[in-house]
């Protein structure tokens, strides 16, 4: 049942505010799409060793399998939001969901690592179309009270996906359904997406912004080129043997960023709609928030992939056993995520980042002694890490936005989310290089797999802890608490 009340979003083609059964169904559909995207960001890390063994994927391919997805999703978020504003959020969400389904099937059919990486990038681009529409539909179609509950449900879905990803990945690989092995982690998306498309076509409301919400395609191209110029040599450089042109490629990312900022400044002067208004960089909270997101998610993004490789290829655990080891981390995140969302205070963000740093350092003596650690020895620091994550991740963006002018909150939120995705990919690239370089050197000396993988993993733990501490220091520059008006 709906009412004829217009939403306070300024949408020209907005639906009546949703209530009752229809509101529940709409929320279920959009959160299902979001859950599927979040699941695919985590489920692959547990299946990575099985994928490497079956397809003969090397270390670089594994890095691209993770970083390519998050990078493509991050690059598409802002542009995807603009596309939804212009052409209709319902239409674009369903299009993104269909593309995500087809890309998942492509991943499940991939005959070699190159095709799999390519399909993962397409998955990420499809996610970049879907996810901005989730926020847009909630803002345009739900009453203020229901809107707050909807965003709370989104936080719960974030925690649930973090639990389901490692466990479901391990279960599907171990169960070997229909002989699919690791491919089942992608095929599971297909029936879920079909249900979402059928129900979404029937119930999702349509909405868009008034006027001509033009896409800043040159700006999107420039910022995407800058990110590729930065990450390509970092991920591929070791395989290339670090030729001179790999460093030149890395250096070219700086003028690409400069050209992007010049382009955006000129677009603002003409009254256009930029991806990023350079004036926002002079807002202390926003600038600190960008650096915080880059460091925080850079440390987080590489952790689960490298932990999974250590547990499976180093200690000999199965995919399911690896998922069970990671479970305490996810449980800890669920316990504190509600607190983080409800109070959204700077002190909680700082505390969470410092707890995460402590949990990384606590793993050092457990992994670094050369023995196979017991389940409970790993569970304690991982559970603590999850507690820290739940205090920080769900409310970081909203706390940053409290220091941004209300008229810029939407664009700033999109940029912050994108930087978080780029940080995730950057962490996989940089810390992956550190991990695999150390691992290859150890294995070349005849070190056992347990000791070699353990030493490589302990090498990246202090780097991750340092990133969390630096992020905590930057968080002190953020507003004290989130502003509910930006939710």
The whole-angstrom separation of Cα 137 and Cα 133 is 6
Q: How many domains does the chain have?
A: 3
Domain residues for 257? 217-274
| pLDDT at residue number 15 | 54
Of 274, 302, 321, which marks where a domain is finished? 274
Residues 406 and 422 placed together within one structural domain of the fold: yes
On the question of pLDDT at 326 being above 60, the answer is yes
Residues 31 and 160 placed together within one structural domain of the fold: yes
Residues 118 and 72 placed together within one structural domain of the fold: yes
Residues 344 and 435 placed together within one structural domain of the fold: yes
What CATH number corresponds to the domain at position 85?
A: 1.20.1250.20
- In this prediction, residues 205-229 reach a mean pLDDT of 76
- In this prediction, residues 290-315 reach a mean pLDDT of 89
| pLDDT at residue number 485 | 44
Q: Is 212 domain-assigned?
A: no
Percent of the chain at pLDDT > 70 equals 88
- In this prediction, residues 316-333 reach a mean pLDDT of 89
| pLDDT at residue number 5 | 35
| pLDDT at residue number 1 | 35
Residues 267 and 287 placed together within one structural domain of the fold: no
Q: Is 78 domain-assigned?
A: yes
Q: Is 207 domain-assigned?
A: no
Residues 192 and 92 placed together within one structural domain of the fold: yes
On the question of pLDDT at 162 being above 70, the answer is no
- In this prediction, residues 362-375 reach a mean pLDDT of 92
How many other CB atoms are found less than 10 A from the CB of residue 370? 11
Between these two residues, 190 and 402, which has the higher pLDDT value? 190
Of 252, 274, 296, which marks where a domain is finished? 274
Between these two residues, 355 and 430, which has the higher pLDDT value? 355
On the question of pLDDT at 212 being above 70, the answer is no
| pLDDT at residue number 486 | 46
Q: Is 8 domain-assigned?
A: no
The whole-angstrom separation of Cα 236 and Cα 402 is 39
Residues 419 and 319 placed together within one structural domain of the fold: yes
| pLDDT at residue number 487 | 44
| pLDDT at residue number 52 | 87
Distance, first Cα to last Cα, the chain: 24
Q: What is the mean pLDDT of the chain?
A: 83
| pLDDT at residue number 409 | 64
- In this prediction, residues 101-118 reach a mean pLDDT of 94
- In this prediction, residues 463-484 reach a mean pLDDT of 89
Pair 359, 388: CB distance under 8 Å: yes
Between these two residues, 486 and 219, which has the higher pLDDT value? 219
- In this prediction, residues 312-340 reach a mean pLDDT of 87
- In this prediction, residues 295-316 reach a mean pLDDT of 89
- The structure tokens 């970092």 sit at 234
Percent of the chain at pLDDT > 90 equals 31
CB burial class (10 A; 0-12, 13-18, 19+) of residue 361? middle
Residues 342 and 247 placed together within one structural domain of the fold: no
Pair 341, 394: CB distance under 8 Å: yes
Phi, psi (rounded to 5 degrees) for 242: 50, 60
- In this prediction, residues 67-92 reach a mean pLDDT of 80
Q: How confident is the model at residue 3 (pLDDT cuts 50, 70, 90)?
A: very low
Tokens found for residue 36: 């599927």
Q: Is 182 domain-assigned?
A: yes
For 218-223, which contacts have Cβ atoms below 8 Å and span 24 or more sequence positions?
A: 218/263, 219/260, 219/263, 219/264, 219/267, 219/274, 219/275, 219/276, 220/75, 220/78, 220/79, 220/275, 222/256, 222/259, 222/260, 222/263, 223/75, 223/256, 223/257, 223/260, 223/275, 223/276
On the question of pLDDT at 228 being above 60, the answer is yes
Residues 221 and 266 placed together within one structural domain of the fold: yes
On the question of pLDDT at 280 being above 60, the answer is yes
Q: Is 108 domain-assigned?
A: yes
Of 226, 253, 274, which marks where a domain is finished? 274
| pLDDT at residue number 155 | 61
The whole-angstrom separation of Cα 120 and Cα 126 is 10
Between these two residues, 459 and 11, which has the higher pLDDT value? 459
Between these two residues, 179 and 373, which has the higher pLDDT value? 373
Q: Which of 354, 370, 375, 76 is nearest to 221 (CA)?
A: 76
| pLDDT at residue number 296 | 92
Instruction: Tell me the pTM.
Output: 0.80
Residues 453 and 404 placed together within one structural domain of the fold: yes
Q: Is 6 domain-assigned?
A: no
On the question of pLDDT at 265 being above 80, the answer is yes
- In this prediction, residues 162-177 reach a mean pLDDT of 78
Q: Is 468 domain-assigned?
A: yes
Residues 48 and 156 placed together within one structural domain of the fold: yes
The whole-angstrom separation of Cα 287 and Cα 114 is 37
Residues 246 and 286 placed together within one structural domain of the fold: no
- In this prediction, residues 412-416 reach a mean pLDDT of 74
On the question of pLDDT at 18 being above 70, the answer is no
């Amino acid at each position: 049942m709906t009412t004829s009340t217009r939403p306070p979003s300024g949408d020209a083609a907005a639906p009546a505010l949703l209530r009752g059964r229809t509101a529940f169904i709409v929320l279920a559909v959009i959160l299902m799409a979001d859950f599927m995207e979040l699941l695919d960001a985590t489920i692959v890390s547990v299946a990575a060793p099985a994928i490497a063994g079956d397809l003969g994927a090397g270390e670089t391919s594994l890095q691209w399998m993770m970083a390519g997805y998050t990078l493509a999703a991050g690059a598409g978020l802002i542009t995807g939001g603009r596309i939804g504003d212009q052409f209709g959020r319902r239409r674009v969400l369903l299009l993104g969901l269909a593309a995500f389904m087809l890309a998942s099937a492509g991943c499940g059919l991939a005959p070699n690592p190159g095709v799999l990486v390519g399909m993962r990038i397409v998955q990420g681009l499809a996610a970049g179309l879907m996810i901005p529409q989730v926020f847009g539909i909630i803002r345009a179609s739900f009453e203020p009270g229901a809107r707050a509950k909807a965003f709370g449900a989104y936080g719960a879905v974030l925690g649930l996906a973090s639990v389901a990803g490692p466990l479901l990945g391990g279960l599907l690989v171990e169960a070997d359904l229909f002989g699919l092995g690791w491919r089942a982690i992608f095929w599971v998306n297909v029936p879920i997406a079909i249900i979402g498309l059928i129900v979404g076509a029937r119930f999702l409301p349509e909405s868009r912004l008034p006027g001509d919400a033009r896409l800043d395609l040159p700006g999107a191209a420039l910022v995407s080129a800058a990110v590729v110029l930065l990450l390509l040599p970092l991920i591929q450089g070791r395989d290339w043997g670090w030729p001179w042109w790999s460093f030149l490629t890395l250096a070219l990312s700086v003028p690409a960023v400069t050209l992007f900022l010049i382009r955006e400044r000129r677009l603002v002067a003409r009254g256009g709609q930029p991806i990023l208004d350079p004036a926002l960089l002079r807002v202390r909270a926003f600038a600190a928030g960008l650096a915080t997101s880059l460091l925080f998610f850079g440390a987080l993004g590489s952790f689960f992939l490298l932990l999974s490789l250590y547990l499976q290829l180093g200690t000999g655990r199965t995919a399911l056993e690896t998922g069970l080891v990671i479970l305490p981390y996810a449980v800890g995140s669920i316990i504190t995520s509600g607190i983080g969302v409800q109070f959204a205070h700077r002190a909680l963000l700082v505390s969470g980042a410092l707890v995460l740093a402590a949990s990384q350092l606590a793993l050092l003596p457990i992994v670094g002694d050369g023995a196979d650690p017991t389940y409970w020895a790993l569970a304690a620091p991982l559970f603590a890490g999850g507690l820290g994550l739940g205090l920080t991740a769900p409310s970081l963006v909203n706390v940053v936005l409290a220091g941004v002018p209300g008229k810029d909150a939407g664009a700033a939120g999109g940029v912050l989310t994108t930087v978080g995705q780029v940080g995730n990919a950057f962490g996989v690239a940089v810390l992956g290089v550190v991990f695999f370089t150390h691992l290859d050197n150890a294995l070349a000396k005849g070190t056992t797999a347990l000791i070699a993988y353990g030493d490589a993993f302990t090498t990246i733990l202090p780097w991750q802890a340092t990133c969390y501490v630096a992020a905590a220091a930057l968080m002190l520059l953020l507003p004290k608490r989130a502003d509910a008006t930006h939710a």
